[in-house]
Structure 1
Amino acid sequence: MMQGAVVVWILSALVCLGTGHHHKGHEDLGTLKQKSVLTDYGQKAPSGHEDNSADHAANSLATVTSANKAFAFDLYRKLAAQTDNQGKNIFFSPSSVSLALAALSVGARGQTHQQLFSGLGFNSSLLNQADVNQAFHGLLTKTSSEDISAGTAVFVDNKFKPQPEFLDALRQSYLAGGFNVDFNNSTESAAAINKYVEEKTHGKIDQLVKDLDPDTLMYLISYVYYKGKWKSQFNPKETSEEDFNVDEQTKVRVQMMNREAWFDIHYDRTISTHVLRLPFTNSYFMLLLMPYKGLTQLEEHICPMHYAKWLNGMSSEEYYINVPKFSIKTNVNLNGVLHQMGMTDMFGAAANFSGIAEDVSVSEVVHQAKLDVDETGATATAVTHVGISLKSFPPQLRFDRPFMVLIADSSHNILFMGKIVNPNL
């Protein structure tokens, strides 16, 4: 019997199931093409948690959030160490990768499930699948606003019938939308998926799928979209063309945004790195990390402990900052790094996804992400800090060489993460 293939594409995240033949399932999804097969989009809590106390739910959420944070830094370090990524920009959404893999774990069993849990940093002695489902339900319902949206969707071949329990868990816990498609008609199916992705990412990602394997059974997509407006915007009239030092031999010209004000700043002496916090108008903020001994040292040491130290050690200081405008789009295959993180069985014949269907495995994990940074923002609503200083000029913090960037919320959940080696790539 041929092993079915699950492709995970992350748009932050997308899982695809495929095989040489179709398996007999347990639920008739019908033949509705591009219409919802998961009809209830209610916000009710996941089943099986009725008897859980509020304290248990809160503890589970805190445990999952902490694991997600550790997973983000671990995944970044693995990506940064890859030979193919040397000298390249890296940008990804760890929260979306976690979301996709957690949704996939709903259908995993045995050692495949254990490896997914372990790779995601979930301690099985503290968390079961129901706890994880409930935690992600809580995280997703928190990220529903005009500026940010996150969720999942499944595109199922009309001849494939996944386990109904799997679909029900996605609907209840991961807010999944569902659609029937005919993967034998690859052009039409690709258009349906791309249209959905384009709508959910507000046009930022419009070509997730190009060539579809007609043997595909299912795509499980997770997406995260965020549009942040600076709490205090940059003045476009202050933007100027300046050099960005890619390395000792390479300079490129970039549009550099400039601003003098009071900022939340921390200097981490242990890794010789300046950390700048730029708030958005909502509860999110951007961290820009400028290492003075090169990115490699920062990448080797960055971890949740440093992250917490930066945020707790911020002080308001007057600075003149220079930040480049940039627009980057990344597309990376995650198979190798997930192997390194211990998630191996899901890619081969040893895969056990019997909670979805018999004889299916993951064939590919692909991530797409896009980041645009410019001067624009809503009218500043924060009080402007006016300070008196004996110095004629404030110190300057220039992001004119490779630096790291994070976007997180007030609960310190990391939405996006990456490094900018060359703003023009």
Structure 2
Amino acid sequence: MAKSLRTGLSSLTMTSLSEANSKFGFRLFRELKQNTEDNLIISPLSISTVMAMVLFGAREKTAFQIQKALHLDEVTEGGKPSSGSTAKAACGTPGEVHSQFRSLLEEINKPNDDYSLVIANRLYGSQTFEFLQSYLDGVKDIYQAGLETMDFLHASEESREKINSWVENQTNGKIKNLFSSGSINPATVLALANAIYFKGKWAMKFKPENTQERNFRTNKDISRPVQMMKQSGFFNIGNIEETQGKILELPYTNKHLSMFVLLPTDNDGLEKLEQDLTFEKLLELMNPENMACKEVHLRFPRFRVEETYSLRSTMEAMGMTDIFDEESANFSGMTTHKGLAVSKVMHKSFVEVNEEGTEAAAATGVVVGYNSSRREIFNCDHPFLFVIRHNRTNSILFYGRVAAPW
């Protein structure tokens, strides 16, 4: 593989790709929230990675649509537009975007004693279909995604179970049945799977004996009992536009990763917060320069969120239309055969938070000083947003909404 794919990634380019992935995730979240007021959880990095593997085999307009929807056309190198500014240059060739993906995934997958974080990719191809060796070599080299041949034609259900078993194993048993019955059939040619798993411990754990049953107000009129954790300590905290709410950083051990919690002031203020929040505002809020370390009296619920999404219609709404149309799709970087199109894009995410820390899966600090003697109250007894970020790369691993903890 080209030497450029093995070069290290500067902090600027890593930030550029991470920002593109996060911007895509923020936009995807906004699309999905239009259809639900319930809990919502996605892993932007998981979805971006699997779609980048599709991009590697796409050409011309098909590639351009994927690149634009993923915001990869905005990725820069050294402050200049990357060679990926044109679909022809970046898509399906060993270009800068794919090089940066490789370096980003290598950085995130580095072994660490403080937490478990693994991102894994796998291709499952029909044994009767011929893929270009250049495509197979490229995705294996860049995305560490080996190809396993499957008998989709005669054993589609057994193939589905095998793929689901791999995903379940990679996510420590948290993501089960990613591909539902019937989603893999005799017409399946290629299934791409990505799994991300994270388990981290809080830098400051909650004491279980302080956890109490308290009411969580899901809206103005309805509340439900939850197990509410409690602690007082020094945390980075900031204001969201004076009256709209507050943002709190909950770091994991040694601050390699953090959870940011965005809590509206009003019990029913989440909709307005989501409506007014832009991607640029979110980055600004999470910037440590815009937060202060203060003593905080914190109440935070135990919660578990698990959601499954079929993303085809959402991807189409974001401009990725050709990949689903066998007449329009151009995957000539993947195969010489025509008529190949994507039929499904499935995403399943899981996050569980307790006194010890967070366990999360999906098929992503400096103390600035004390500036207040007054203790802040941060009481998460009504719906809130949260972000789990890999701090070294600024990658958003998970982005979610908790409307009703369970």
Q: Give TM-score, length-normalised by structure 2.
A: 0.84
CA contact (8 A) 1:107 1:354 kept: yes
Displacement of 1:403 in angstroms is 0.3
SS at match of 1:161: coil
SS at match of 2:280: helix
Post-superposition Cα deviations, 1:204-255, rounded to whole Å, max 9, x if no partner, equal 1122233221221111111211111111100000000010111112111110
Residues in 2 aligned to 1:60 and 1:244: alpha-carbon distance in whole angstroms: 42
Post-superposition Cα deviations, 1:295-320, rounded to whole Å, max 9, x if no partner, equal 22222232332223222311111111
- Structure 1 residues 53 and 160, CA gap change in structure 2 (3 angstroms): closer
1:322 maps onto 2:303 in alignment: no
**RCO (CA 8 Å, sep 6+): is it higher in 1 or 2?**
1
- Structure 1 residues 377 and 193, CA gap change in structure 2 (3 angstroms): same
Partner of 1:136: 101
Partner of 2:28: 75
- 1:77-96 to 2 correspondences below 5 Å: 77-82=30-35, 85=36, 87-96=37-46
CA contact (8 A) 2:132 2:334 kept: yes
SS at match of 2:140: helix
Tell me which amino acid in the other structure corresponds to 1:298: L
Post-superposition Cα deviations, 1:180-205, rounded to whole Å, max 9, x if no partner, equal 22122133212211221111101111
RMSD: 2.7
Of the candidates 254, 259, 262, which is equivalent to residue 286 of structure 1? 259
1:406 maps onto 2:406 in alignment: no
- 1:197-236 to 2 correspondences below 5 Å: 197-211=167-181, 212-236=184-208
Partner of 1:31: none
% same residue = 29
Residues in 2 aligned to 1:137 and 1:252: alpha-carbon distance in whole angstroms: 44
Residues in 2 aligned to 1:271 and 1:175: alpha-carbon distance in whole angstroms: 46
- Structure 1 residues 65 and 395, CA gap change in structure 2 (3 angstroms): closer
Displacement of 1:59 in angstroms is 5.3
CA contact (8 A) 1:73 1:302 kept: no
Partner of 1:23: none
Structure 1: 5+ residue runs without aligned partners?
Answer: 1-45
Residues in 1 aligned to 2:310 and 2:331: alpha-carbon distance in whole angstroms: 21
Residues in 2 aligned to 1:224 and 1:351: alpha-carbon distance in whole angstroms: 28
Residues in 2 aligned to 1:340 and 1:78: alpha-carbon distance in whole angstroms: 8
Structure 2: 5+ residue runs without aligned partners?
Answer: 75-80, 85-89, 359-364
Of the candidates 238, 246, 259, which is equivalent to residue 218 of structure 2? 246
Residues in 2 aligned to 1:149 and 1:103: alpha-carbon distance in whole angstroms: 18
SS at match of 2:179: coil
Of the candidates 355, 368, 380, which is equivalent to residue 333 of structure 2? 355
Tell me which amino acid in the other structure corresponds to 1:255: Q
CA contact (8 A) 2:236 2:293 kept: yes
Q: Give TM-score, length-normalised by structure 1.
A: 0.81
Displacement of 1:178 in angstroms is 2.5
Tell me which amino acid in the other structure corresponds to 1:202: N
Post-superposition Cα deviations, 1:131-183, rounded to whole Å, max 9, x if no partner, equal 11101100110111251011310111211221111111111111113212212
Post-superposition Cα deviations, 1:317-370, rounded to whole Å, max 9, x if no partner, equal 111111110111100111222112111111112111122232111122121000
